[in-house]
Amino acid sequence: MLAPVNPRRVFAVDDPDVNPYRLLTALVVPRPIAWVSTLSGDGVVNLAPHSFFTVSSNRPPVVQFTSVGVKDTLRNVLATGEFVVNLAGLPQMDAVNQTSAPYEAGVDEAAALGIAMEPSELVAPPRVSDAPASIECVLHTTIEVGTCTLVLGRVVAVTVRDEAMVDGSPSMSRLQPVSRLGGAEWGLPPEVVALERPLQPPP
């Protein structure tokens, strides 16, 4: 066996000095942010960011986020079966961060912070008015993984603000998405290059 080409540090994840959360969130970057709006069973709005977020399936269209522990967002989704993933653009970055503060369960973060909400198209939880796009979901399934719960939502409607659309598609330069990195670091809207996929392997 050859020696490793590049010296590298090995982290044993069962070593008590290793924090898998810190390590993985520093490495799986940048993570897009689902700014999730929900309603409690009593109809109180809740808004909180989740960066453990991705597309699960395109047919049917399904997206997922992960609740690390049991939080109001998860409780609300389980109680009502609906949620909205609002995209976080650069102008919303500070507001997104503010909504991650540990508000009491009965507190509407959007109202407390002056974040304008408006009715969604097909689900009861409202969307963030200024978010460049919103993805409306009904609960598909939840999967428990240790102390976390993956929440999969079937997408029933997608809305994109007119000013974020170019030639009929959402445009990166208009969406200006921010992302989550490790620790307290955030990613600003990225530079974009276009790279066509190869139609065949090289000869």
> Which residues of the chain form contacts with ligand FMN (CB under 6 A)?
33, 46, 48-52, 66-68, 71-73, 97, 100, 102, 180
Q: What are phi and psi of 26, to 5 degrees?
A: -80, -20
Q: Which of 86, 94, 190, 179 is nearest to 132 (CA)?
A: 86
Residue among 54 and 163 whose Cβ is closer to ligand FMN = 54
Q: Cα(63)–Cα(54) distance, rounded to whole angstroms? A: 6
> Looking at beta carbons only, is 66 or 159 nearer to ligand FMN?
66
Alpha-carbon span 86 to 3, nearest angstrom: 47
Based on CB atoms, which residue is closest to ligand FMN, 77 or 164? 77
Within 10 Å of residue 150's Cβ, how many Cβ atoms? 15
Query: In this complex, which beta carbon is closest to ligand FMN, that of residue 100 or of residue 171?
Result: 100
What's the min distance (Å) between Cβ of 71 and ligand FMN? Answer: 3
CB closer to ligand FMN, 3 vs 184: 184
Least separation in angstroms between residue 180's CB and ligand FMN is 4
Q: How near is the Cβ of 53 to ligand FMN at its closest, in Å?
A: 6
**Least distance (Å) from ligand FMN to the CB of residue 174?**
21
Residue 200 Cβ vs ligand FMN, minimum distance, rounded to whole Å: 38
In angstroms, rounded to a whole number, what is the distance separating the alpha carbons of residues 92 and 98?
A: 10
Judge whether 108 and 45 are in contact, CB under 8 Å. Answer: yes
Count the neighbouring beta carbons within 10 Å of the beta carbon of residue 19: 13
Supply φ then ψ for residue 96, to 5 degrees.
-60, -50
